[in-house]
Every structure is written in structure tokens, then in C-alpha cells.
């Protein structure tokens, strides 16, 4: 069987480095190039000490796609760059697997349309950890029975977006089964703005940012006399790579955009 040719955008990043390791270690994958706006023209081995093969770095996505013809782009960058890379990939017939979080709904809609019109698969997953996907699924199940819900997401202090893509996705999944309800006391007032977190149809999301954390989320459900807590912790970034791997394999069989790992896991 032919190897799946892959380009990674953001190879120096915390997630990008894990993805480079995973792709290099996977027999059925081939890393043909990377996209790094600061090191175009160099070899990846000059930038990442654990890389011992000659993989070209391109300063922009179009050049990487034209010169190395990947089948899949793995993007782990920033919301702005990730959106541009995914668009360029779909235009070039390359299938994006995007872990970058923080896209707006308009950006997601634009990528969805482009993927559909070009009939090229695309996977965007705010969380590639299988345990996190189960946490979201269990939460949407529990939300059928508990209406009062607080989501507390906790991440390292270098994270750009808040709330996290996982928290937003969890709230979306919960809101598919939960009737809108304003939680807390009807006359509740914040004496310090933001104290009650972000409002998602009455449900609240709280974002904690601390050095030392990686990616953690707990969803708390309250009812008379009982509290249910569903929690997931990623204790290192390798936790995300099994989901990236499954996504690369799956995106080859898709002809439209799928948002969320839960929609491709059986």
C-alpha cells in the first residue's frame, strides 16, 4: 500500500513537534515537507534536533503543496494561519486535518462550503484525545438528565483562545439535548465582571490558565442533592496523536468536512 504523503504546518510548536514524531514513526505515513514561516528554505533537521532525515521547510503553504504534492496537511498553528493553510490546502486538492483551535463560525462555514464544493475531505477537531471525546459524549448523555451545568476548562498559560475549542464543542453538544435555562439565582449579579464565566444559553464556561497545566476539562452537573463530575486530563501532548493518526487515515476516505473527532470514531 502507498504511504500517505503528509505536510505539517507549525512543526516547531508543542503540538507540531509531537505530530512530526508521530508521522516519522508511522510506517504508512511519509512526511514530505513542513510549513514554517520563519525557516523557509532550510531543512527540518536544522531546526528540530530529533529529525535525522532531509525534510524541506517551506515559508508558505502554496509552495509546500506545489513542490511536494502531499495528500494531507496537518495544521497545528494559530487560528489565523490555520484558516489560511486549510483554505490553501482545499484549493490545491490537499486534505486538511486541523487541530488548531479558535476558528470563528464564519470561518468554519467557509471551509465547510469549500470542502463540499471541491469534494475534498477535511477534518477539524478541537480535541484529538480519545478520552476527551468520550468526556464530551458522556457529558451530552448526562445533560439529558441534568439541566444545570458548569464547564471548567483548564489549560497552560500560552493558549491563545478562550474558552477552549473543546469547551465550546462540549457546550454545543450539550445544547443539542438541553433546553435553554438561565442558571443560578434569578437576581444574581456579578460584583466582579466575569465571575460567573461565559454564558452559553444559560450554561457557564470557566477558563483557567496556569503554567504547569496541559489540557484538562471537567463538566459538573448539579441537581437536588447530587453532583456529577465528568473529567478528562491530557497529561502530555502525545495523548492527542492517536486521534491525529486516525484522522489522517479517515480524511482520505471523505469528500466533505467533518467537525469533531466524535463524528469519525465508531
Residues comprising the binding site for (S)-2,3,4,5-tetrahydrodipicolinate? 156, 165-166
Q: Which of 33, 100, 139, 140 binds ligand NAP (CB under 6 A)?
A: 100
Tell me how far, at minimum, the Cβ of 184 lies from ligand NAP, in Å.
Answer: 29
> Around 234, how many Cα atoms within 13 Å sit in the side-chain half-sphere?
27
Distance (Å, whole) CA 108 – CA 229: 30
Q: Is 264 in the site for ligand NAP (CB under 6 A)?
A: no
- 203/215 with CB nearer ligand NAP: 215
Catalytic residue among 5, 87, 116, 159: 159
> Around 81, how many Cα atoms within 13 Å sit in the side-chain half-sphere?
19
How many residues lie near ligand NAP (CB under 6 A)?
A: 26
Catalytic residue among 155, 169, 216, 245: 155
Our CA dihedral for 109, 63, 120, 105, rounded to 10 degrees, sits at: -10
**CA 40 remoteness from chain centre:** 25
Binding mask 122-141 for ligand NAP (x = CB under 6 A): ---xxxx-------------
Tell me how far, at minimum, the Cβ of 164 lies from ligand NAP, in Å.
Answer: 7
Q: Is 36 in the site for ligand NAP (CB under 6 A)?
A: yes
Give the start-end residues of each E strand in the chain.
Answer: 4-9, 29-35, 57-58, 72-75, 95-98, 122-124, 148-155, 198-200, 203-209, 215-223, 226-234, 257-259
Q: Is 262 in the site for ligand NAP (CB under 6 A)?
A: no
Q: How many residues does the chain have?
A: 266
Q: Which of 2, 27, 38, 53 binds ligand NAP (CB under 6 A)?
A: 38
H runs (alpha helix) in 34-76: 61-68
Residues at the interface with ligand NAP (CB under 6 A): 9-10, 12-16, 35-38, 76-78, 81, 99-102, 125-128, 159, 215, 240
Amino acid at each position: 500500500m502507498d504511504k500517505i504523503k503528509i505536510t505539517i504546518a507549525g512543526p516547531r510548536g508543542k503540538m507540531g513537534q509531537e505530530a512530526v514524531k508521530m508521522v516519522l514513526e508511522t510506517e504508512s505515513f511519509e512526511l514530505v515537507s513542513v510549513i514554517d514561516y520563519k525557516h523557509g528554505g532550510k531543512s527540518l533537521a536544522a531546526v528540530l534536533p530529533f529529525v535525522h532525515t532531509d525534510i524541506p521547510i517551506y515559508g508558505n503553504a502554496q509552495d509546500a503543496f506545489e513542490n511536494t504534492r502531499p495528500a494531507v496537511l496537518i495544521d497545528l498553528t494559530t487560528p489565523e494561519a490555520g484558516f489560511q493553510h486549510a483554505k490553501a490546502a482545499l484549493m490545491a486538492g490537499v486534505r486538511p486535518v486541523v487541530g488548531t483551535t479558535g476558528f470563528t463560525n464564519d470561518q468554519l462555514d467557509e471551509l465547510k462550503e469549500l470542502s463540499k464544493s471541491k469534494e475534498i475531505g477535511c477534518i477539524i477537531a478541537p480535541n484529538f484525545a480519545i478520552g476527551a471525546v468520550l468526556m464530551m459524549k458522556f457529558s451530552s448523555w448526562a445533560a439529558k438528565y441534568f439541566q444545570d451545568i458548569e464547564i471548567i476548562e483548564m489549560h497552560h498559560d500560552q493558549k491563545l483562545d478562550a474558552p477552549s475549542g473543546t469547551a465550546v464543542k462540549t457546550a454545543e453538544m450539550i445544547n443539542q439535548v438541553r433546553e435553554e435555562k438561565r442558571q443560578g439565582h434569578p437576581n444574581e449579579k456579578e460584583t466582579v465582571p466575569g465571575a460567573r464565566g461565559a454564558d452559553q444559553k444559560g450554561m457557564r464556561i470557566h477558563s483557567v490558565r496556569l503554567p504547569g497545566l496541559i489540557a484538562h476539562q471537567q463538566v459538573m452537573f448539579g441537581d437536588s442533592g447530587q453532583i456529577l463530575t465528568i473529567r478528562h486530563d491530557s497529561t502530555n501532548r502525545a495523548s492527542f496523536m492517536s486521534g491525529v493518526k486516525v484522522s489522517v487515515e479517515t480524511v482520505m476516505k471523505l469528500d466533505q468536512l467533518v467537525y469533531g473527532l466524535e463524528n469519525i470514531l465508531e
